[in-house]
């Protein structure tokens, strides 16, 4: 049978999602926990691989197994074998044509910037710190150049393996709550480092180093070297993955909506 599951994890102490020989990965600890529940080796497929330091509020996976377990057993059994920084929020049997990655219709990311002169304490590794005042209005103005279907070559990592750099950025919102500046991005799919590179451009504009129109210039250049910094991973959250309603994958509300709302 095929099982789909939704995961929440703190990426601070992981080298990223993907299994690596000499580093701690989310994939490795999840597969180890599920294998113990199934009493057989389990390999999972993920909706979107996250980088080192990136967090997930509702990452989606699927796996195939011959083990007969109910939903409660998958969730409770996996969580009893997972470290404190990873949890299974939901698990159910799904149709065999469900695919965590290829069935997805959209991805939602959220980037959080603590914008104050003093560095974070309890929010360290969970927000990006920018000490310079950010002008949210200019960041919002820049966002309009990036929404829609574009070639995002200037916003992807040099080692990005995607064959096609064209993506549809359906929504890019920037707003402030007190000292926190939020960037919310929704697209059909994202390139490697795309959200962090967009955040880097927007922060540069917000800090007054560039005008809003620079975002359009970077986009049209189709050259990563003109795009400035890649923002830190600490403030990046994979919020949710969208699927057709017929697949019955639930939308999980964030545990802390006041942080990622």
User: For position 30, which CATH number holds?
Assistant: 3.30.70.580
pLDDT at residue 261 above 70?
no
C-alpha triplet 8, 9, 14: angle, nearest 5°: 155
Mean pLDDT of the chain: 94
pTM for the full model? 0.93
Asked whether residue 253 is assigned to any structural domain, the reply reads: no
At 219, which CATH number?
A: 3.30.70.660
Q: What is the pLDDT of residues 111-127, one digit of tens each?
A: 999 999 999 999 999 99
Confidence label for 251 from pLDDT (cuts 50, 70 and 90):
confident
Mean pLDDT (whole number) for 213-227: 94
Asked whether residue 42 is assigned to any structural domain, the reply reads: yes
Please report which helix (H) or strand (E) contains residue 28, including its range: helix 26-38
Asked whether residue 258 is assigned to any structural domain, the reply reads: no
Give the HSE-up count for residue 64: Cα atoms under 13 Å, Cβ half-sphere: 5
Asked whether residue 173 falls in the same domain as residue 225, the answer is yes
Tokens of 124: 């360290």
**Helix 214-221 to helix 194-206 angle, to the nearest 10 degrees?**
150
CB neighbourhood size of 132 (10 A): 12
Asked whether residue 230 falls in the same domain as residue 110, the answer is yes
The one catalytic residue in 10, 21, 39, 51 is 51
Tokens of 130: 């920018």
Asked whether residue 261 is assigned to any structural domain, the reply reads: no
pLDDT at residue 254 above 90?
no
Closest CA to 146 of 167, 161, 130: 167
Tokens of 24: 């701690």
Domain count, the chain: 2
Q: What is the pLDDT of residues 171-207, one digit of tens each?
A: 999 999 999 999 999 999 999 999 999 999 999 999 9
Mean pLDDT (whole number) for 223-235: 92
Asked whether residue 96 falls in the same domain as residue 204, the answer is no
Closest CA to 160 of 170, 173, 151, 172: 151
- The proportion of the chain whose per-residue pLDDT surpasses 90, expressed as a percent, equals 90
Q: 86-94 and 128-130: which strand pairing?
A: unpaired
Asked whether residue 81 falls in the same domain as residue 198, the answer is no
pLDDT of the residue at 209:
95
Asked whether residue 124 falls in the same domain as residue 37, the answer is no
Which residues on neighbouring strands pair with residue 236, listed in sequence order? 111
Asked whether residue 182 is assigned to any structural domain, the reply reads: yes
Asked whether residue 112 falls in the same domain as residue 230, the answer is yes
How many angstroms separate the CA atoms of 202 and 231, rounded?
10
Distance from CA of residue 154 to its chain's centroid?
19
Distance from CA of residue 94 to its chain's centroid?
23
Domain edge (last residue) among 83, 103, 123: 103
Distance from CA of residue 142 to its chain's centroid?
22
pLDDT of the residue at 257:
57
Asked whether residue 15 falls in the same domain as residue 72, the answer is yes
CB neighbourhood size of 13 (10 A): 13
Asked whether residue 155 falls in the same domain as residue 216, the answer is yes
Mean pLDDT (whole number) for 67-94: 95
Asked whether residue 148 falls in the same domain as residue 233, the answer is yes
Closest CA to 69 of 47, 96, 40: 40
How many angstroms separate the CA atoms of 52 and 118, rounded?
24
Asked whether residue 25 falls in the same domain as residue 140, the answer is no
Mean pLDDT (whole number) for 120-138: 96
Q: Is the dihedral of CA 5, 58, 232, 256 positive or negative?
A: negative
pLDDT of the residue at 161:
83
Asked whether residue 259 is assigned to any structural domain, the reply reads: no
pLDDT at residue 258 above 60?
no
Active site residue 51: yes
Asked whether residue 257 is assigned to any structural domain, the reply reads: no
Confidence label for 227 from pLDDT (cuts 50, 70 and 90):
confident
Domain edge (last residue) among 103, 131, 147: 103
Tokens of 57: 């509020």
C-alpha triplet 230, 124, 235: angle, nearest 5°: 35
Q: What is the pLDDT of residues 149-163, one digit of tens each?
A: 999 999 999 888 889
The domain in which residue 153 lies consists of 106-238
How many angstroms separate the CA atoms of 83 and 241, rounded?
23
Asked whether residue 82 falls in the same domain as residue 117, the answer is no
Domain edge (last residue) among 74, 103, 132: 103
């Amino acid at each position: 049978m095929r099982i789909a599951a939704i995961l929440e994890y703190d990426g601070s102490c992981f080298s990223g999602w993907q299994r690596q020989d000499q580093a701690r990965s989310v994939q490795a600890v999840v597969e180890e926990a599920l294998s113990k529940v199934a009493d057989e080796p389990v390999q999972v497929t993920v909706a979107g691989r996250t980088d080192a330091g990136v967090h997930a509020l509702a990452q989606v996976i699927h796996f195939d197994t011959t083990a007969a377990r109910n939903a409660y057993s998958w969730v409770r059994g996996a969580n009893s074998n997972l470290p404190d920084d990873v949890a299974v929020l939901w698990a159910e049997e799904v149709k065999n044509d469900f695919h965590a990655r290829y069935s997805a219709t959209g991805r939602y990311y959220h980037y959080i910037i603590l914008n104050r002169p003093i560095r974070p304490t309890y929010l360290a590794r969970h927000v990006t710190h920018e000490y310079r005042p950010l002008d949210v209005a200019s960041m919002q103005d820049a966002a309009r150049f990036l929404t829609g279907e574009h070639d995002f070559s200037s916003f992807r990592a040099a080692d990005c393996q995607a064959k096609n750099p064209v993506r549809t950025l359906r929504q890019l919102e920037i707003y402030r709550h007190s000292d926190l500046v939020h960037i919310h991005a929704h697209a059909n799919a994202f390139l490697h480092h795309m959200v962090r590179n967009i955040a880097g451009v927007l922060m540069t504009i917000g800090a007054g180093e560039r005008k809003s129109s620079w975002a359009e210039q970077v986009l049209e250049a189709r050259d990563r070297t003109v795009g400035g910094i890649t923002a830190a991973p600490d403030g990046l959250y994979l919020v949710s993955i969208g699927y057709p309603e017929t697949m019955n994958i639930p939308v999980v509300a964030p545990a802390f909506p006041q942080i990622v709302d």
